[in-house]
Every structure is written in structure tokens, then in C-alpha cells.
Amino acid sequence: MALFAAVLGVVMIAVILWEVFETIILPRRVTRRFRFSRFLFRVGWVLWKAAVAELVPRRNRETWLSFYGPLSLIFLLSVWAGGLIFGFALLHSAAGLTVRGAVRAGFLTDVYFSGTTFFTLGLGDIVPGPGSGRFLSMAESGMGFGFLALVISYLPALNQSFARREVSISLLDARAGSPPSASEMLKRHSGEEGMVALREMLKEWERWSAELLEGHLSYPVLAYFRSQHDNQSWLGALTAVLDACALITAGLEGCGCEGQAGRTFAMARHAVVDLCLVFRRTPEDMQPDRLPPEKLSELRTALAVAGLTPGDWEAAVRKLEGLRRMYEPYVKALAGHFHISIPPWVPDGSMPDNWQVSAWGGGKERPWREHF
């Protein structure tokens, strides 16, 4: 039994340390089929979504869904720490302990001693046996100290990546509406000066898409962290930028940023495809169509108001259809998984931007209950 406990303890510790290495330290996507952390996030998310849909009123669901990212991260760290403590408890059980100078008092005592050693409490009411027991205690206390240091360094990096992601999403509010849409983005950047600003914005979003991809590959839990407003999301912003780039690339006249739009489209499309691989989402059918004939007519009118009508509308529509097939199936798969609404091509005009509202009423402002 002592040999079995020792082997089991070594296996548990090795598996958890490898998971910690892949999740916190390794700066690239892990391609093996099973990972405990990925399994925990996916299964936990499915259960959380189902519970929220069943138990929480519709107006509060987005708030409850936003709790999942931080809570799942805390739970994962707790599982790792508990697994390491339990694994070392098995090793201590095999090596033998001394309780106040007397005989061992059972496996629960081993777990207690392992926990106090892992968190470097140093209570002294239990001491390890001679030889291997003392070596294990020293190794566990060092590992516990290192684990806590990794967690302390991991959380700020996670928060910084989240903050960088959300800053650009917030900036998109006044530039593309709430929620953002391609037609609104182009309309608000009409004119020569606006086109220059649009070119610079698309350049920034090319970099943002790359940072989003790298951040979510390194820290997949970030994808479950939701934005501050219910009508904002990382996927919604990415979709609006893809829509705008697809429209420009399809052949809008008077834009002057086709080259940058093509580069931004390539990077943003790369991001949605790779994220589908990370979260094991299969591209879904584009039905119902996001751009049916009536919406296509509204889009044409909105572009005409902005002075951006294509020379050959029918050819532009056909090219736009081909570009949409390159990213919309992936966007739809991610939206279904993360329970995120895909923004429209043309806004309905009934909702003000987030910057136009406050909690105190007046003008276009909505009641305070919609903000808290």
C-alpha cells in the first residue's frame, strides 16, 4: 500500500505541475486533445449557462454570465492547490510522520500536515519522519511557495491583457455605435478626414486582433471574461470590424483604405478561426442570414448617405458574400458557445450609444436600473 500511495502521489503531482506549466508559463497553444483545465472550463461553462438560463431572470443573465470567468479561474487554482496537497499527503503517508513525538494518526493527519507545509505555515505540531519525510517536507514547502508566486504573477498579467482588450472595445463605442455595426462605423467616418481616421483605426484593430489572438491563446479563460456593458463584447467588436473590412474590400468607392482593410480582415479572420480551434467549435451554417435582402437594401442606403456607394453594386454584393463565408460561420460558432449576440450590419437606430446615457436620466438616457 505504501508503494501504491507513493506512485499515485507522484503521478498526481506531475500531472498538476504539467497543467500549471502549460496554462501559466507556456506561451503558446497546446494541441493535445485532453487538458484538465480546458475540460473544466468547457464543462463548467455548459453547466453555468444552463443554470443561468433556468434560474436567472432575463434582464440579469448577462451579469451572472460575467461571474463565470473569475469564479472558474479561482476554482481551477483551488483544484490545483488541493491536488498538490493531496498528492504530497500520499507521499507523506508512504514515508511516515511523527505526531508530537508519537505514532502516526492516519491519512487525515497526512493531509493536514501536507496543507500546512504547502502553505508554509510551520505550525510544528506534526513533524516529518527522518530521511525521506524531511526531504519531502522541504520539497513541498518550496513548491508551495513557487506555486503562490506563480499565481501572484499570473493574475496581474491576466488583468492587464483584459484591460488592453477592453480599452479598444470602449473606444469603438463612439466610432461604431452600441452595439457596433459596420454601416455605422463607415457612416461616422465619412468624408476625407474621416477616411484618414478610419484607416488609422483599422490599423489599430489589426494589432488589436493579433493581441486578442495571442492573449486568448496564452490565457483561454480570458474569453469567458465579459465586457462592462451588455451590448459590448470582444466577439461583437471583432465581428463589426470584420464586417466593415469586408464591405471596404468588396469595392467601396471613395474610401481609400482598401489595403489596410484587407490586412485587418486577414488578421481578424485568423483570430476567429484559431479561436474556434482552441475552443473546439465547428463552423456553423450562416442561416438565418445576417444580411437578408431587406437589410442589404438598408445597408446600401446607409452607405449612400456616407458617400460610399460601390461602382458595381451587384459585383460588390457577390464579393461580399464570398468574404462573409470566410468568417461568419466561425463567428456564429463562437457566439453560440460564449452566449454572445452577433452585432447587426445595420443598427435599428432606437438605442443610443453608451456614452450618451447615464444613471441620472435626461435626454436619451435610460433608467438607472438598466445600468446596475
Instruction: Please report, in angstroms and rounded to a whole number, the separation of the first and last CA atoms in the chain.
Output: 57
Per the CB < 8 A criterion, the answer to whether 136 and 129 are in contact is: no
Average pLDDT for 104-119 = 83
| Closest among 77, 80, 104, 101 to 92, alpha carbons compared | 104
Instruction: For the chain, list the domains and their CATH numbers.
Output: 2-20+33-152 (1.10.287), 177-370 (no CATH)
Q: What is the mean pLDDT of residues 270-281?
A: 93
What 3-state class would DSSP assign to 327?
coil
Cα separations in angstroms, 193 against 52, 132, 189, 199, 251 = 46, 74, 8, 10, 20
Q: What is the pLDDT of residue 200?
A: 93
Rounded Cα distance, 173 and 346, in Å:
15
| Average pLDDT of the residues in 224-230 | 89
Residues 18-52 pLDDT 10s: 988 888 877 666 666 777 888 888 899 999 999 99
pLDDT digits (tens, 9 = 90+) for 284-340: 998 889 999 998 888 888 888 777 777 788 888 899 999 999 999 999 999 999 999
pLDDT of 355 over the 60 cut: yes
Determine if the pTM surpasses 0.95. no
**Mean per-residue pLDDT for 148-157?**
86
- What is the average pLDDT value for the chain, to the nearest integer? 86
pLDDT category, 370, cuts 50, 70, 90?
very low
- pLDDT tier at 104, thresholds 50, 70, 90: low
pLDDT attached to residue 363: 46
Q: Which triple of cell numbers denotes residue 305? A: 448617405
Q: Are 224 and 45 in contact (CB under 8 A)?
A: yes
Q: What is the rounded CA–CA span in Å between residue 317 and residue 337?
A: 29
Measured between alpha carbons, how far is 304 from 154 in angstroms, rounded to an integer? 49
Phi, psi for 191 (deg, rounded to 5): 90, 165
Buried b (16+ CB within 10 A) or exposed e, 38-69: bebbeebbeebbeebeeeeeeeebbebbbebb
How would you class 257 by CB atoms within 10 Å of its CB: exposed for 0-12, middle for 13-18, buried for 19 or more?
Answer: buried
Cβ-contact 271, 207 below 8 angstroms: no
In 3D space, the residue among 129, 123, 115 whose CA is nearest the CA of residue 2 turns out to be 129
Contact 262, 319 (CB under 8 A): no
Residue 368 pLDDT grade (very low, low, confident, very high; cuts 50, 70, 90): very low
Q: Give the single-character DSSP code of 279.
A: T
Residue 265: pLDDT above 90?
Answer: yes
The pLDDT of residue 369 is: 36
Kindly indicate the confidence band of residue 57, based on its pLDDT and cuts at 50, 70 and 90. Answer: very high
* Percent of the chain residues past pLDDT 70, beyond the cut: 90
Q: How confident is the model at residue 361 (pLDDT cuts 50, 70, 90)?
A: low
Q: Which of 252, 159, 146 is nearest to 198 (CA)?
A: 252
β-strand partners of 97: 128
Average pLDDT of the segment spanning 140-145: 89
Report helix, strand or coil for 97: strand
pLDDT value at residue 190: 82
pLDDT at 282 over 90: yes
Mean pLDDT over residues 84-110, rounded? 77
Q: What is the mean pLDDT of residues 343-355?
A: 82
Cβ pair 156, 164 in contact under 8 A? no
Query: Over 80: is that where the pLDDT of 202 sits?
Result: yes
- Measure the CA–CA gap between 196 and 199, rounded to whole angstroms: 5
Please tell me the predicted confidence (pLDDT) of residue 98.
Answer: 63
| pLDDT over 60 at 110, yes or no | yes
| pLDDT class of 348 with cuts at 50, 70, 90 | confident
Does residue 288 have a cis peptide bond before it, meaning omega lies within 30 degrees of 0?
yes
Pairwise pLDDT comparison (84 vs 93), residue with the higher score: 84
SS3 of 115-168: HHHHCCCCCCCEEECCCHHHHHHHHHHHHHHHHHHHHHHHHHHHHHHHHHHHHH
- Is pLDDT above 70 for 114? yes
